[in-house]
Structure formats: C-alpha cells, structure tokens
Structure 1
Amino acid sequence: MVAAAVAGAAGALGGAAAVGGWAVRALGGAAAPGGGAARAPRLWGWGWGGSSRRLWVPSGQAAAAASPPDPSGALSPFDRQLKRKQKNWAALQPEPAKCDYLREEVGGRVADRVFDITRAFPLALDVGSGRGYIAQHLTKETVEKLIQVDIAENALKNAMETEIPTVSVVADEEFLPFKEDTFDLVVSSLSLHWVNDLPRAFREIHQVLKPDGVFIGAMFGGDTLYELRCSLQLAELEREGGFSPHVSPFTAVSDLGHLLSRAGFNTLTVDTDEIQVNYPGLFEVMEDLQGMGESNCSWNRKPLLHRETILAAAAIYQEMYGNSDGSVPATFQIYYMIGWKFHESQARPAQRGSATVSLGDLAKINGLLSRRKK
C-alpha cells in the first residue's frame, strides 16, 4: 500500500495567462519513448494579436530546429514528454498554488534582479514561466509586454494574474520559436535544469535577445536535495544491494559561467544561494515535489521504490538530518545568472598596458596618507 502510494512521487527533483489573439506552440519532432514516427510540430496559443505576428519563426524553421530525443539517455538524459505530462498534471490539481511556495520565492528574487537594472524593457520573454512566478512580481513600468513560454499548456492556462499584458506560448525551452534580436529582456526561473542541451538553450536565449539585451535566470544547483539523495541511496544499498539515480544530475556552478560565455554573453554575474524548507517527513517532501511538477523524468530513472526501501529511506532521513522538533530539512541550492548581449555602447575593459598609474604607486600614496594621519 505504501509502495503504491509513493510510486508516482518516487522521482525527486532534477539536476536539470492568456489574452485574446494568438501565439505559437512548437512541440515537434519528438519521438515516443517506445519508438514510432516523430510527430510534426503543432502551432497554437494565445496572445495580444496585431503586429506581434512578426515575432514568430515560420513553422518550417521550428520543425527543422527540433530533433527527437535519444531514449538511451546518452545524449538526451531527460524525457521531455514525461516532464510536460508531470507539469500539466501538477497545474490541474485542485490547489496548484499549494506547492508553489518555492517557485514564487525564487521568481520574486529574479524579479528583484530585474528591478536592479535602471531601465524599462518594452518586450520581455519568460522561458519556462509555468504559472507566471516571475510576472506576478513585475510592474508595467519595468516590463511593458511579456511573452510567457512553457512546455505545459495547463500551466499557462492557469497562470496567475499580472498587471503586465502577456502572451502565452506553448513551446519547448530548447527550441524557442522566435526571430533573432526580438526581446529586450529574457528571464527564466527554475526551468532550465530540465533541458537536455543547456548550451543550446543558452545560445537560443542569446539569439532572441536584442543587442544590449540582458538575460536573468535562476536554476537549481548541485547540492539541491542532497538529504533526499543520500537517504535513498543508503536505503537501497542496505535493502537491495545497490542503488539507482532518484535525483537527476545538476549543473555545477563552476561550469555555468563558461557555458554562458560560450553562448555569447558578456559582463557575466553568477551567484548562488540556498533555501531550506522543513517538512514533516520524507513522504511530504516527495508529495510536494510531485505537486511542483518536479518529479524525476530521467530516461534511466527507476520506475518504483520497494516498500521496505522507502520506509528505510524515511528512517535514515530522520536519523541523519532530522530536526529537534521532528521535522526534516530539504535544501534547495539556487544558481542566479545575469548575462548581456554585446552592443557597441557597452563599457569595455581598457587594453592591457594602457594604465598610466601602477598599483605600486597607489600603494605608496596610501602609505603617505596613513603616515600623515599619525
């Protein structure tokens, strides 16, 4: 009974609003996990209409950009169709906002970084927007129009209200169906850790940005849910003599700046933060991860956990990480990134050797000033 109850939630978090008119859906070229013919891309959605049609890439180009996943997981570790189903399921729950606390918090922190830039953005793009966790914190004085892109149509249909005019676009974050040099700002919160090709996703974001446009994003980091990962591994080693991955791979912070630089971004800023949430126990952690749409979608995931294994994992979790009040912590590591697309007006570092004062001279001046004070 316990095994049946947790089978749907056994996968843990990975390492990876509509207004009248129309928009674009680009979910094409994806082969079914069991094989079969690839499906042609379908285009639909909602938007503010009018001249916004020039934003979209023709459907033929979108189809050419999409490529079928590799079921072996060698090149495509994540089952994107399964991730779409998970997020759609979560968005249709009676109280979808019940498990949105983490996404709302990080979305607010991304919005704060947008406010730190003293300019207005006529047109912005939210990649992996979900139910609009960034948009609800933005103002129309900062962002005049916003396009929200997500792989799950139910999340977009149930998006939270915002004062900014929005367009909802159902599309894969890895294959953005927009023309080059379109957006003044691109934001993303807790979505890019599920893409199969992160370098390509960064290149797509860079391509759709206008010169002097900025990308501000957040994604889960390598220490996310280390308590859950260790508890499940120890329980499986004890009960089954080996373990399978239940927490998907994450990007290391040391690689993030390099990936952004390779994609063409400059003036990079990368920082990290941790959010710790306390839960009654392991089962509640898994339940909320499922409610977030963050269940594991790796191709090599284990389909279920045995009853004895999950009970052992819950006991190990409590013993190793439990708080004095009986709750258990779950740690979420967040990487925040800011990158700019090059423009001639941007400040650039001076050429090497062009300085007129040496650091040694500055040190002498500091010494003289300190002696005068004495």
Structure 2
Amino acid sequence: MPHRVRDTREFAMPCMIGVTSGMAQTPQTPPALFDRALLHARQRRAQAQGAENFLLDRVAEDMFDRLAAVMREFHAPVDLWTPGEGLAALRARLPSLQRIALDETGAETLPLAPDRLDLVVSALALQFVNDLPGVFAQLRRALKPDGLLLAAMIGGDSLTELRQAFAAAEAECEGGVSPRVAPFADLRDIGALLQRAGFALPVTDVDRVVVRYGNAFALMQDLRRMGATNVLIERRRAPSRRATLLRMAEIYAERFADADGRIRATFDIIWLSGWAPHASQQQPLKPGSAKASLAEAVKKAGKE
C-alpha cells in the first residue's frame, strides 16, 4: 500500500446558509453526466477484489461524531447509496438503519414515501448523481418535519492534480483532451441546492485530505479499488495509449511532487446537512421587525 500523510486541517470555515421560505419548483432534469450502471458494476468489482476504504472509513468516523453531537434519538433512519458496508459501524448506534443500495440500473428515483424518515445519511455517493437537485427534493419530501439529512461527498478541488496532468499529457501526445476526472460540485453550489430543495438551516463545510503516493499509477490503483474510476458518459472508450500514461505520470511528478519525490493527491470531502422545516426551529427575523434602527443606535453611542 502507498505511504499516506493525511492533512486533517479544515480548509474552509463552515458555510452558514439562511433558512428558506419554501421548496422551489423542480427544474427540468439536467442531461446525464454519469453512467451509474457502470458505477454499480465497478463498485461491486472493487468490493469483490478488496476495496480501498481509507476515505470512507474517515467519513464514517466523522459521521458518527457529528450525529453524536446532535443528541437526538432517530427511529426511522436510512443510509442512501453508501458504497459497500461503509457505514456498518454506525448501526451500533442506529440498529434500525436501513440501507438503500445503488442498484444495477443506477436509478435515481427513490423508493421513499413522504414524511416517513427522521434521518438520511449518505457517505461518498452523491458526487456521482446526475440530478442532485431532484434527489435533494425527494429526500426533503421523505423526511418528517425536523428530520435531518447528513451526507459527505467528494467535491471542490478533488483530484485537481490528476486532472491537470492528464490534460497536459493528452494535449501534448494526442493533440486533444478527453474528460478523465468527473466535474465536482463546489461548496457554495451544494449549499444553494439544499436551500432550493426546501431544507431549513442548511450548512456545508469541507475536510481537505492530502494523500501522498510513490507515483501516479499507485494513485490510479487506489481509485480502481475505491470503484471510483471514470464513469463519465462522455469518457473516451478506447484504451489510453501507453505513451500518454507515461507522460501523464512524468508531468504529475514534475508539478505535484514533494522534496522526497512522492506526489500529492487532494481529496475535498464536502459535508452537508439540512433539516426538514419545523415550527420549533430558529426562524430569521422578518424585514422591518427590528425594535430599533441602526442609525438611532449609532447616534446614541455617539452621545455617550
């Protein structure tokens, strides 16, 4: 296994998003980016061959701690699309946790009745969803008032080094660039989508993990063992040329190696949470409801 050094610092302050006034209309379904049936097949293959779970294990531990801080009992919880048995340890706290696994079709229509759940959790699955606004809207409808959504997904600048190295190598060796690394959602985008789906008190933050490898091929082997290789519908179907792969590894080492020669790979884990609205939750003040104006307060302070 490659030697890893993990950067556990939080690189972004929690992004607090205001309470929404209601659920927006569902937009037109966007074009599909991901072949989710292929994703299912690759995840199954990874599990059968011995999956690499260091990121998933990190997320599972963090999720346990975040739920413990909520200090609430959950009686109707669901685990949505977490790969393998990634949240198995969470069942010690939530024995009633039901799992919705990604099926062989990759369908994004959820078998959930309205107002039935009090908790939905998901670990490292939502980054491969084609219609994320639609999935958020389905989860919002499935949650009881004051029910909680807590999820972690890959996003932000994840694998930016690999993306740049592949783009440079293909431009140099093949005269063009093909999509190799999936586009990842930004922190602010996720907060806005939660708000648009009608979640109250939505919050997002980022855990940046920097992993070091001996070379780019060791990183790619880990991605295969995570079941996280390229599932873009517009991916290049022909096998990569050996010359291109070798040049990619050279560029990666030239641009993203430390002094000891080991390369860096960035993974941004976006954490998101939101609540189904309930009267007991903190509400924003209505415009014009303040008892005293800022101008009057400033005048009073100046006289004192």
TM range (shorter): 0.7 to 0.9
Give me the whole-angstrom Cα distance separating, in 2, the residues matched to 1:366 and 1:172.
Answer: 62
Q: What amino acid does structure 1 have at the position aligned with 2:260?
A: D
Match for residue 40 of structure 2 among 65, 76, 84: 84
Match for residue 101 of structure 1 among 41, 54, 64: 54
1:122-146 CA distances to partner (integer Å, 9 max, x unpaired)?
A: 1211111223323414643xx3410
Give me the whole-angstrom Cα distance separating, in 2, the residues matched to 1:274 and 1:308.
Answer: 32
Match for residue 201 of structure 2 among 246, 254, 267: 267
Aligned to 2:66: 113
Give me the whole-angstrom Cα distance separating, in 2, the residues matched to 1:118 and 1:198.
Answer: 28
CA RMSD across the alignment:
2.3
Contact residue 111 and residue 138 of structure 1 kept, 8 A: no
Query: Does 2:78 correspond to 1:125?
Result: yes
Contact residue 90 and residue 290 of structure 1 kept, 8 A: yes
Q: CA deviation at 1:357?
A: 3.7
Contact residue 210 and residue 266 of structure 2 kept, 8 A: yes
Give me the whole-angstrom Cα distance separating, in 1, the residues matched to 2:124 and 2:248.
Answer: 26
Higher Cα Rg, which structure: 1
Normalised TM-score (structure 1) = 0.69
User: Secondary structure of 1:206's match?
Assistant: helix
User: Secondary structure of 1:331's match?
Assistant: strand
User: Secondary structure of 1:296's match?
Assistant: coil
Contact residue 36 and residue 107 of structure 2 kept, 8 A: no
Q: Which runs of 5+ in 1 are unaligned?
A: 1-68, 154-170
Q: CA deviation at 1:366?
A: 7.6
Contact residue 221 and residue 334 of structure 1 kept, 8 A: yes
Q: CA deviation at 1:152?
A: 5.4
Give me the whole-angstrom Cα distance separating, in 1, the residues matched to 2:85 and 2:231.
Answer: 22
Give me the whole-angstrom Cα distance separating, in 2, the residues matched to 1:145 and 1:138.
Answer: 7
Aligned to 1:208: 142
Match for residue 131 of structure 2 among 197, 200, 212: 197
Give me the whole-angstrom Cα distance separating, in 2, the residues matched to 1:341 and 1:91.
Answer: 34
Q: Which runs of 5+ in 2 are unaligned?
A: 1-28
* Map 1:20-35 → 2, pairs under 5 A: none
Distance 1:90 1:348, change over 3 A: same
Aligned residues: 275
Aligned to 2:226: 292
User: Secondary structure of 2:170's match?
Assistant: helix
Aligned to 1:234: 168
Aligned to 2:255: 320
Aligned to 2:102: 151
User: Secondary structure of 2:157's match?
Assistant: coil
Contact residue 182 and residue 232 of structure 2 kept, 8 A: yes
User: Secondary structure of 2:198's match?
Assistant: coil
Normalised TM-score (structure 2) = 0.84
Give me the whole-angstrom Cα distance separating, in 2, the residues matched to 1:367 and 1:144.
Answer: 60
Distance 1:173 1:149, change over 3 A: farther
Distance 1:354 1:250, change over 3 A: same
Aligned to 2:116: 182
